[in-house]
Amino acid sequence: MKIICAENYQEMSEKAAAMIAAQVIMKPQAVLGLATGSTPIGTYRQLIQWYNEGKLDFSQVTGINLDEYRGLTGDHPQSYRYFMQRHFYDYVNIDPARTYVPDGADPDAERACRNYDQILREAGGIDLQLLGIGLDGHIGFNEPGENFIGETHCVKLTDSTLAANSRFFSEGEQMPREAYTLGIRGILQAGKVLMLADGRDKADILQQAFRGPVTPRVPASILQLHPDFTLIGDKEALRMLLS
C-alpha cells in the first residue's frame, strides 16, 4: 500500500487526475472504475481541463461505476448516473455506450446485479478503480457486515450512510434506503486501486481501515491485501494514519 499526502483538496485532486491520465495515455482502451461522492469531483474537473487542453482522449475508454441507488432513474438529480453526466461524462469525448452505472430503475435486484457482473466480465475487468470511503468504511456501497460479498449485490444502507448522504436530497424527499453496488471481488480484481480521502472527518476511519485488522466490519480494510493500492489523502484526512 502506498500513501501519498497532499497539502489540500486541490493537490489531492491533481495527483489523482495525473494517475488516471497516465492510465489512459498508457492504455487508450482503459477500463476505469469510477466513483461518485464529493471527494472525486475535483479529480473529474482536472481531467476535463486536460481534455479541453487537448492532452487527453477518452474516445476508447470504458467507464464502469461502482454503485447506484435502487429506485432512482438516471434522470433523477441524485442518481449516480446523473452525477457522472454532470461532473464528467458530459464534458469529455467518452462514448456514451461505454459508460455503465448499475440500473437503479430495475426493481429486480437479482437481474440488475447479474447484468452488471456480466458487463464487468465483458469489459475484461477494471484497469484502475477510483474509490472514496464512507464514514463507516464502506467502499462503493459495500457496507460493514459479517462477510465480504464478492459479486454485485443489493445493499441496505446503514444509518451512518443515510445520515451522511441525506444532505444531497431535498427536504421531504424520500431518500432510497437500498443500493446496487459492485462487490468486493469486482473492486479487488482491478489492476490498480486509487482511494481518495480529504478532511478531518475521514481521519478516524482511515486509521481503522489501514492500521487495523482486515475485517468486513470495515470493508475498506480489504484493500490492505491489494497488490497495487494507493491512498491519496490531504493532511487532515491522513493525520492519524501518518502520526
Residues that bind ligand GLP (CB under 6 A): 35-39, 66-67, 132-134, 140-141, 161, 165
Please identify which of the residues 127, 143, 198, 234 carries the catalytic annotation. 143
Minimum Å gap between C-beta 60 and ligand GLP is 25
Q: Can you read off the three cell numbers belonging to residue 75?
A: 434522470
Q: Is 138 a catalytic residue?
A: yes
Q: Which of 53, 73, 63 is nearest to 24 (CA)?
A: 63
**Which one, 44 or 141, has the nearer CB to ligand GLP?**
141
* C-alpha separations of 122 from 31, 64, 117 in Å: 11, 12, 9
Please identify which of the residues 68, 87, 103, 138 carries the catalytic annotation. 138
| Distance in angstroms (rounded) separating the CA atoms of residues 220 and 133 | 7
Minimum Å gap between C-beta 55 and ligand GLP is 26
**Which one, 29 or 38, has the nearer CB to ligand GLP?**
38
> What are the b/e assignments for 54-87, b being 16+ CB within 10 Å?
eebebeebbbbbbbbbbbbeeebeebbbbbbbeb
Minimum Å gap between C-beta 6 and ligand GLP is 15
Q: Is 153 a catalytic residue?
A: no
Minimum Å gap between C-beta 150 and ligand GLP is 18
CB atoms within 10 A of CB 171: 5
Helix, strand, coil percent values for the chain (each to nearest 5): 40, 20, 40
The residue with cell 469510477 is: 34
Q: Is 67 a catalytic residue?
A: yes
* Residues carrying an active site annotation: 67, 136, 138, 143
